[in-house]
Every structure is written in C-alpha cells, then in structure tokens.
Amino acid sequence: MPASLYIFLSGAFLFILVRLLHGSLRRRFIDKIPGPRRTSWINGNVPDLLRSPEISDAHFAWLKEYGTVLKTHAEFGAIQYILNTSGYNFPKTPSGRASSALILGKGIVWADGAQHAKQRKIMTPAFSFNTLRDFIPMFRNKAQKTVNKIKEQIELTENPVVNMVPWFSRTTLEIIGAGIVLLPLFIYNNQFYASLLASADYDFEAIDGGQTNQLTQAYSNLMADAFYKLSDRDITVTYLMGKVPDFVYDLMKLLPTRSLKRIRRYMPVVMKVAQEVVDKQTALYAHGKEGSKDLMSVLVRANLSEDPRTKLTNEEVISQLTTFFFAGHETTASSLNWALYELSRHPEYQTKLRDEIKALRTRVAERGDGEITITDLDSMQYLPALMKETLRYHPIVPGLFRNAGKDDHIPLDIPIKLTTGEVVSSIPVERGQQSVWGDDADVWRPERFLEDHEHKQQTRLGVIGNIATFSSGIRSCIGVLEMQAILLELIENFEFSPPPGNIEIIRASVRVMGPMVKGSKSGRTELPLTVKPL
C-alpha cells in the first residue's frame, strides 16, 4: 500500500479524534436519556447491532429494558417527524452515505439536501401513478415466467425443495431491466413491447440466464459476502470514509478489507452495464425513439440538458442506474423472501389468500377486463395485510440512521422519564446527533391490518402503506406494487411449506435483512421451502 495512503489516513484519523474528544466534553441533554453502555470504545454499540445472532435481538432487549425512546452509541460517540415533517433537517449520517456510495454510487440514495431535492424532482415523472399503473402487466409477465421456471426445476430435479432467494433476485432484476425503458403508451401492445426490449437490448435475461448472467453473478450473495459479521476494522473504516475529503475517500476504497475487496469485484460490472444502457438510450433519443416519461428518457434528457436546474452529470446518471439496479431488485426480492417464509408457516393464511385471488379473478372476468389494475389490488384485504405485516415485522433495512442537520426538538407521543427523574414530551437534539428507530412488535400477525378494515381502507397501501420499511417522506420507495403482482402469481400457482428436517431460518444482518439457514457454514443467504405446484 502506498506510504501516502497511510499518511492521509493517519492525518484524517487524528483530525476526527480531536473533534470527537472536544464534543465529548460538552454536557448534552441526550446524555440524560437512558440506554445501553457502549461495548466498543471505537464503535460504540454498532457491533451489537451488526453482529447479534439475529437482527433485532439487541433492539428487542434494549426496548424491554429502556423503553421506546433510548440512546445508543455510534462510532466514537419519531419517525413521522424525522422522515416526513422535517426530512431535510435530518440528513443521512456520513458513514451511511459512505456505505451507499460504495454499493450504489452517488445517486439519489446518497444525495442529501438541495442535491437530493433536485434529483428527486427530475425523476418524479418516471414514477407517477399513471406510469406505474401501466407496469402491472409487465410485473405479472415476469412473475409468470418465474413460475414456469420453478415448475421446470421441480420436474427436472424431482425435488420439491426450492431455494427461493436466487429466483426472487433474478425476477426483480429482470423487471428492473424492463422497467427502466418501459414506454407506457405501448405497454399493452405485446409485440411492440417485445421488439422494443430486443432492439434496445435492455432485457437482462436474469430469469433464463441464471448464474451465467453477468449482473446475476455480480449481485450473487453480494451483501452477505461484504457485510455479514463485519469486523471492528470494517466498521471503523466505513465510519472514517464518511469523515474524510473525497480524494482520501477514493484512496481508502483501495484498502484490503473484506467488504471493499468484494465491492471492487462487483462495482466495475454494474458500472459497465449502466454505461451501456445510457449509451444505447442516448442513441435512441438522438433518432427520436425515446419515451416521454420512462426512467431512461428522463435521465437522458437531464444528462443532455443545458439548464443547471435540470442537468444531471454523467456520473449522476450512472449512479441513478446503479442505484435502481441494486435497490430496485434487492429490497423487493428480500421482502418477497420473508413473505413466503411466513406463508410457509401459516398455511391457513395461504388458503385465505387463494380464495381472495379467485374472487378477484371472477370480478375482473365479469367486467370483461383481461388485466388486474392497481384499484383491484387495493380492493383486496388479505394480500395488502400480508405485505404490510411482512414489511413491518421483517424490515429489509432494519435500522435507518439520520444526523440532526440543525438544532431541533423531536416531539414524543408518549412522554419519557430521563435518568434524572424528569419527565419530558420532546427530545432536543443538537446538530450532528444521530437518531435510530425501528419496530417494537415481535409477533407476525397480518390480521392487525384487517381489524376495522373499512376504516383502514381509507389509507391505501400505495407506496409505503404507513410502513417505514422502504423509508418514507422524501425518501420513499416504490417496490410494493411489484411485490403485490409477483405474490399474486406465486400464491395462485404454488403451495409453500417448510422444508423437511429441523431447518431454522434466521434474520441475518447483511446491511439488509437476509434469510439464512441457522448453523450454515456457507455464509450465503438462502430460503429453502417445499414448493408444491397447484
């Protein structure tokens, strides 16, 4: 390693240490909030969260001991309000942004403040209700393709036990490839739609290609390889990367940590594919063959714009694609895994879902319509309840970290007692302090969303359905509609149950919540289920 790198890192470390020691001398209100002792002088309670046997073990223990508001220690040192009301007043932590940049590039997930607002505004037309509505036939088409491939696997291997993890990853990745260039005007013209994908070469062929597909290979077990059971060194390096100037950050990416070595194998592949997609769509745009509101058309126009208010650099455009390639398939695939895991353990709920789907099909046929709509999906009871409870109980990103961008007060629904005995109904936070929140219920029970159903339906499932799993407010995500369409096809075609033997699935911390077989030495995310075609 170059000597200059050590010099830069040493200087950066000393600079950060001096700032942290200075800050620790100040007595703050936050010190009076109860919470666990730090278990690492350098990394605080972060190792407790990342290396607990199962995600949420530490959270549940702390909640039982300290209540719903507590203080934890990060390295060296109320959802509605933080996410929605004052979203830009609580930016991501520096280490969180550093991690995002490593995996996703400097796109909309990484951006903050005015930069995030600008990127969000530019891309909003690609995710309007009318645009997303027209995606449903494509979602179902890819889901049906996966159903057929799983049936083929069961027939060929004569083994009903199927690892669902790779199938969901391939399905959602192929959906992303189709979705970024989808022309809503022609979505129902299957012949034109197929020729569009072929001519633009955006069909990632992840479902058919399997492990021979370059993107499938790049993403295969990426998060577990890079982030499962991180060492203190890995945690510290990520923290420091969020505190140093860009040129030191670029040097630190060359460090030989386990995480960085795996990311260095992955990133060139996804960057190459993203650039190819941009180049081909730019050529189509030049010949007048672009769509009006699909994501790629929006990005290409922004890249070619001369107006600084609507201009995105090539790096920003590539980063948006790498973000959607990963976040657009990993989060949805993981949520689907957990939905099927719970269904396999609750066969009675599978029966209710199939009856509901059958009734829906009958209503659609009676009105003479061949397609299920967003309104149809929103009219269902058991499918939205399944998804909401799965998203609540198995949050794919189990912890969201934010810094206080300025001094503020966070209002509390329930007053808390400080260590001094004082009772308060709001928490004053200083600029730079971090906030963490998560779910506090430890029972999977979708019926909670069916109670008082008539009243609940006034709030549609929509993008988040009041569940913060896919973030919220200025950073909300769109994966729920895709999940609904895929689950509908799978539940209608298969019956799921646990695999033979005493196999236990744990919720592993791999930056996202990944299913793993307890005691497995492979270090891979997997979800073996017994799958019976219907």
Binding residue numbers for heme:
477
Which residue in this structure is represented by tokens 């497995």?
520
Contact 384, 461 (CB under 8 A): yes
Q: How many C-beta atoms lie closer than 10 Å to residue 357's C-beta? A: 19
Which of 464, 500, 239 has the alpha carbon at shortest distance from 331? 464
Contact 461, 480 (CB under 8 A): yes
Interatomic CA distance for residues 482 and 465, integer angstroms: 14
- Biggest CA–CA distance in the chain, Å, is 74
Residue 422 is which amino acid?
Answer: E
Q: How many C-beta atoms lie closer than 10 Å to residue 191's C-beta? A: 8
* Total residues found in the chain within this entry: 534
Q: Is 357 left (phi over 0), alpha (psi -120 to 50) or beta?
A: alpha
* β-bridge pairing 408-417 and 505-510: unpaired
Three-state DSSP at 249 gives helix
Beta bridge partners of 531: 496
Interatomic CA distance for residues 177 and 82, integer angstroms: 33
Interatomic CA distance for residues 354 and 382, integer angstroms: 9
Q: Which residues are annotated binding-site positions? A: 477
Cβ-Cβ contacts under 8 Å for 277 (sequence gap 6 or more) = 180, 181, 202, 296, 321
Q: Encoding tokens for residue 340?
A: 């099927």
Q: Vertex 313, ends 307 and 315: CA angle to 5°?
A: 170
Residue 458 is which amino acid?
Answer: Q
Cβ-Cβ contacts under 8 Å for 452 (sequence gap 6 or more) = none
Q: Encoding tokens for residue 265?
A: 């194998």
